[in-house]
């Protein structure tokens, strides 16, 4: 275990925000992770966990210890002719893991291609894209309880998954470190999810008639590359806000005022595209210093270089207030504000 002092967190968050951590340590094994947590509690240092750093906005220096999770490995636990149970360690890059599943012809994660971040944080916000969420194929995960250093399993049901939500964002927030995640993936008769409009259009454009899981992945990658900024080039955290769900009555009123608004029925209400609201309100492509709203996808806030976390946060607050004033809808941030 090596504890570093006064470390910049800029390389560890995809927003590329400059912030310092008083202490910093990387955990390559579970034992090391336990040792670091032990050190933190003995020295009274609050813990900030960083894995992929792809869903956080740092608005201040961290006066404590940042622990970077670097557990690596992918393992096929068991399999039969139909299914494979695959365990991925927390610190594996999510997209590279998805590529590994596709190389092995394991189906289930293809729609989740090219999502930034790492495997161990994917369940926290139940990552999802193009009609598929991680909860659809995750069977269980293992996590370390920070206060007791005990390891326990969580079944899919125990994770209490919802739209961009899980028990780890609510009652167990900050209490566990996810160590590994297990998926049940198909080996044959793959069920393709191509109902999301853009995927069908993209498959057609690629001239694919009978798509494979690899083709779906390729289509998803093309769509994402055309709309979403690559964090390696422009700092961002993907969608900054969640898509709001409003009541049927509210949706009816909104539709009368804005006939082009799109909504999908959800739990008796309507889920609407926050990106549409933000664009309609005139924010798309706006830039204030180095903080901005992405030009191709208004749901994504970007750091053009040297924006501070507070500049990004203040921009998000202005958007939030403006959307509330114009549409009467209160947006909710999806990104974890530190
Ligand atoms: N739209 C606009 N203007 C915009 C952006 C979107 O009008 O600037 C409208 C369009 O009508 C479009 C609709 O919004 O048809 C939906 O847009 P898109 O397919 O890009 O998806 P999204 O609802 O904006 C969600 C996820 C994304 C995920 C995509 C695809 C959330 C918060 N975001 O975005 O997830 O990739 O669907 O499934 O649910 C992320 O969480 O970081 C993320 C990128």
pLDDT at 241: 97
Judged against a pLDDT cut of 80, whether residue 282 lies above it is answered with yes
Ligand 1 atom with the smallest distance to the CA of 297 is: 8
Judged against a pLDDT cut of 90, whether residue 26 lies above it is answered with yes
pLDDT at 250: 92
Judged against a pLDDT cut of 80, whether residue 82 lies above it is answered with yes
Domain boundaries, the chain: 4-69, 74-227, 235-337
Topology (CATH) of 235-337:
3.90.78
Q: How far is CA 264 from CA 36, 131, 146, 272, in A?
A: 46, 12, 39, 7
What is the rounded average pLDDT of the residues 176-202?
A: 94
Is 233 annotated in the active site?
Answer: no
Say if ligand 1 is within 6 A of residue 262 CB.
yes
What is the rounded average pLDDT of the residues 196-221?
A: 94
Ligand 1 atom with the smallest distance to the CA of 198 is: 19
SS3 of 156-225: the string is CHHHCCECCECHHHCCCCCCEEEEEEEEEEECCCCCCCCCCHHHHHHHHHCCCCCCCHHHHHHHHHHHHH
Residue 233's pLDDT band, with cuts at 50, 70 and 90, is very high
Say if ligand 1 is within 6 A of residue 295 CB.
no
What is the rounded average pLDDT of the residues 2-20?
A: 97
Residue 73's pLDDT band, with cuts at 50, 70 and 90, is very high
What is the rounded average pLDDT of the residues 107-117?
A: 97
Interval 44-57: pLDDT, tens: 999 999 999 999 99
Interval 123-170: pLDDT, tens: 999 999 999 999 999 999 999 999 999 999 999 999 999 999 999 999
Say if ligand 1 is within 6 A of residue 273 CB.
yes
Marked catalytic residue, from 90, 166, 239, 316:
239
**Short-list 289, 291, 173, CA closest to 240:** 291
CATH architecture of 4-69: 2-Layer Sandwich (3.30)
- Mean pLDDT in the chain? 96
What is the rounded average pLDDT of the residues 297-315?
A: 97
Judged against a pLDDT cut of 90, whether residue 262 lies above it is answered with no
Handedness of CA 114, 115, 118, 122 (dihedral sign): negative
pLDDT at 263: 86
Judged against a pLDDT cut of 90, whether residue 17 lies above it is answered with yes
SS3 of 224-281: the string is HHHHCCCCCCCEEEEECECCCEEEHHHHHHHHHHCCCCCEEEECCEEEECHHHHHHHC
Buried b (16+ CB within 10 A) or exposed e, 221-234: bbbbeeebbebeeb
Ligand 1 atom with the smallest distance to the CA of 241 is: 32
74-227 is classed CATH 3.30.465.10: yes
| 6 C-alpha to ligand 1 centroid (Å) | 37
What is the rounded average pLDDT of the residues 277-301?
A: 97
263 or 313, higher pLDDT: 313
Judged against a pLDDT cut of 80, whether residue 197 lies above it is answered with no
Judged against a pLDDT cut of 90, whether residue 247 lies above it is answered with yes
Is 164 annotated in the active site?
Answer: yes
Beta bridge partners of 48: 66
DSSP letter for 290, please: T
Say if ligand 1 is within 6 A of residue 242 CB.
yes
Is 334 annotated in the active site?
Answer: yes
Say if ligand 1 is within 6 A of residue 238 CB.
yes
Judged against a pLDDT cut of 90, whether residue 267 lies above it is answered with no
pLDDT at 55: 94
Question: Residue 313 belongs to what H/E stretch?
Answer: helix 309-327
pLDDT at 50: 96
Do the first three CATH levels of 4-69 and 235-337 match, i.e. the same topology?
no
pLDDT at 266: 83
Residue 268's pLDDT band, with cuts at 50, 70 and 90, is confident
């Amino acid at each position: 275990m090596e504890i570093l002092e006064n470390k910049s967190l800029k390389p560890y968050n995809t927003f590329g925000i400059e912030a310092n951590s008083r202490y910093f340590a990387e955990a390559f094994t579970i034992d090391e992770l336990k040792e670091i947590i032990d050190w933190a509690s003995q020295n009274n240092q609050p813990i900030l966990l960083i894995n992929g750093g792809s869903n956080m906005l740092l608005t201040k220096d961290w006066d404590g210890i940042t622990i970077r999770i670097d557990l690596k490995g992918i393992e096929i636990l068991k399999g039969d002719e139909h299914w494979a149970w695959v365990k991925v360690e927390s610190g594996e890059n999510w997209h590279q893991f998805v590529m590994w599943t596709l190389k092995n012809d394991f189906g289930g994660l293809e729609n989740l291609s090219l999502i930034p971040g790492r495997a161990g944080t994917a369940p926290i916000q139940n990552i999802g894209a193009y009609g598929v969420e991680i909860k659809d194929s995750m069977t269980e995960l293992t996590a370390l309880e920070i206060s007791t250093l005990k390891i326990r399993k969580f079944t899919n049901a125990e994770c209490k998954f919802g739209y961009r939500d899980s028990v780890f964002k609510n009652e167990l927030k900050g209490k566990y470190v996810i160590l590994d995640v297990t998926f049940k993936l198909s080996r044959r008769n793959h069920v393709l999810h191509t109902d999301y409009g853009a995927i069908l259009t993209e498959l057609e454009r690629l001239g694919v008639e009978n798509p494979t899981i690899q083709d779906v992945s390729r289509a998803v990658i093309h769509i994402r590359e055309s709309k979403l900024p690559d964090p390696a080039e422009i700092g961002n955290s993907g969608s900054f806000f969640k898509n709001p769900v409003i009541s049927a009555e509210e949706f009816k009123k909104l539709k009368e005022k804005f006939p082009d608004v799109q909504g999908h029925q959800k739990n008796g209400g309507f889920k609407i595209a926050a990106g549409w609201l933000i664009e309609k309100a005139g924010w798309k492509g706006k830039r204030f210093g180095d903080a901005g709203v992405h030009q191709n996808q208004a749901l994504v806030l970007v750091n053009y270089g040297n924006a501070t976390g507070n500049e990004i946060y203040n921009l998000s607050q202005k958007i939030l207030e403006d959307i509330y004033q114009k549409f009467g809808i209160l947006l909710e941030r999806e990104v974890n504000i530190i």
